Amino acid sequence: MNFLPLDQMGTITEPSDEERGKEVLKAVRDGHKSIRVLLIDDDQDDYLLTQDLILELGGRYSLDWIGTYEEGLDAICGGTFDVILLDYRLGMRSGIELLREGLAHGCAGPIILLTGQGQSRTDLEALDAGADDYLEKSGLTAAVLERSIRYALAQRLAEARLERKVVERTEELARANDALREADRRKDEFLSTLGHELRNPLAPILNALEIIRLCGDNAEAVAQQRDRLERQVKQMVRLVDDLLDVSRVSTGKLRLNAEPLILQEVCEAAIDISRPLVEKAGLRLTVRMPHDPIPLEGDRVRLTQVFSNLLNNSAKYTEAGGSVTLAAHLDRDRAVVKVRDTGVGIAPDVLPRIFELFTQVDRSLNRSQGGLGVGLALVRRFVELHSGIVTARSEGLGRGAEFTVDLPLPG
């Protein structure tokens, strides 16, 4: 008899069920390696008969034998055999019990139940308990045994592949659910911000209208309140325009009106738009442009919006006394524009999603508390529509930020 030392079984690091199944089936086909078969049977005569069948198969299989229930359970859970032949009767207990106990311990492997009894429901009971096949000892031949072994190995390989796919799919669904929950959270924050930003101008507008009603004969007071109304209405128009742009981007309906442009002119237009916010924030604005004109092909309005959004973003997140720099240069067949500030910077966990819709930097860091937090998402989409790339860089909170727009020159 050939016994396996049980103290070795718990120390061997085994491959996965799928790897084992592939290796074993290849060995069966090629005949380069013997397949380890374990017989769990309390009858030595049955072991000798099984050994004769294994020998008939021409050396492709090796047979080990264990004669007790307890050793059999250890062997099944050890996972060191390729196939296990399990007798229905093991002293006062049964192979079905052993199968179920092994399954309860999370132990599995290609197992074929053998019985000398002609019970009609033993096969169903065996399969229900976790066996891969069921054979009656009477009339058992080497060919039938080998067919059953091959079937059991193939069955376990298929199950291992299915389990792997289920695990992979479960992980994918978990990630997708996490992403959906995060998107819902950010949308909720966005809607809260939207309500706040749209309501902010309403109080000044209502106050101005009330003052005009009460001071209708005071031309100076009426003029002041008209200016106030104009500023607040313009703010609401900007908010609504941003919302419309977000909708067009989300639905793929945004279209460009391309024309020949000069980069310097686009940047100057963006600076004119952003200068009031930069000056109000008490910041120093530095502009560095090449002497020679840099030609572009693109939508003047959208590219102006790209650079004004970047300048506005820097102004919002930079404390008074800080600086904002807009610099452009040529890099072979590309136009590169950088907007750099000395502001609050971007946290490492926020940086990878800074251009995503509904992503907002901590509002406690926003000196102006204004905007919907969609400006950078629009920047990325407008740049991509021009076949360009926009990137962000920051060394962390309190270290400022730099945004780089890379646009192709006309072909």
State the pLDDT at residue 20.
Answer: 56
Could you give the number of structural domains in the chain?
3
Query: What is the SS3 string spanning 236-267?
Result: HHHHHHHHHHHHHHHHCCCCCCEEEEEHHHHH
Looking at 224, 253, 282, the residue that finishes a domain is 253
11 and 148 fall within a common domain? yes
Write the CATH number for 317.
3.30.565.10
Residue in 96, 114, 98 with CA at minimum distance from that of residue 49: 114
Q: Kindly state whether residue 367 falls inside one of the protein's structural domains.
A: yes
401 and 378 fall within a common domain? yes
133 and 266 fall within a common domain? no
266 and 161 fall within a common domain? no
Report the distance separating Cα 302 and Cα 304, nearest Å: 5
Q: Kindly state whether residue 195 falls inside one of the protein's structural domains.
A: no
Q: Kindly state whether residue 194 falls inside one of the protein's structural domains.
A: no
List of residues 6+ apart from 140 with CB closer than 8 A: 53, 114
State the pLDDT at residue 358.
Answer: 67
List of residues 6+ apart from 46 with CB closer than 8 A: 39, 87, 114, 137
List of residues 6+ apart from 134 with CB closer than 8 A: 112, 113, 115, 122, 123, 126, 127
State the pLDDT at residue 28.
Answer: 54
132 and 225 fall within a common domain? no
Report the distance separating Cα 230 and Cα 235, nearest Å: 9
State the pLDDT at residue 217.
Answer: 79
216 and 259 fall within a common domain? no
State the pLDDT at residue 367.
Answer: 45
147 and 210 fall within a common domain? no
Report the distance separating Cα 86 and Cα 103, nearest Å: 14
Q: Kindly state whether residue 246 falls inside one of the protein's structural domains.
A: yes
Q: Kindly state whether residue 193 falls inside one of the protein's structural domains.
A: no
Count other C-beta atoms under 10 Å from residue 398's C-beta.
11
Specify burial of residue 39 (Cβ count, 10 A radius: 0-12, 13-18, 19+).
buried
Q: Kindly state whether residue 221 falls inside one of the protein's structural domains.
A: yes
Q: Kindly state whether residue 328 falls inside one of the protein's structural domains.
A: yes
Looking at 212, 238, 253, the residue that finishes a domain is 253
248 and 281 fall within a common domain? no
36 and 59 fall within a common domain? yes
81 and 208 fall within a common domain? no
Low-confidence ranges of the chain (pLDDT < 70): 1-33, 117-121, 358-372
**Which residues span the domain enclosing 342?**
255-408
State the pLDDT at residue 79.
Answer: 78
List of residues 6+ apart from 347 with CB closer than 8 A: 361, 362, 396, 397
Cβ atoms of residues 133 and 152 within 8 Å: yes
Report the distance separating Cα 313 and Cα 378, nearest Å: 12
Q: Kindly state whether residue 186 falls inside one of the protein's structural domains.
A: no
What pLDDT digit, counting tens, does each position of 37-69 carry?
999 999 899 999 999 999 998 878 899 999 999
321 and 244 fall within a common domain? no
State the pLDDT at residue 259.
Answer: 96
77 and 110 fall within a common domain? yes
Looking at 218, 234, 253, the residue that finishes a domain is 253
Kindly state the tokens that stand for 364: 């406690």
Strand ranges inside 231-369, DSSP E: 258-262, 284-288, 295-299, 323-331, 334-341
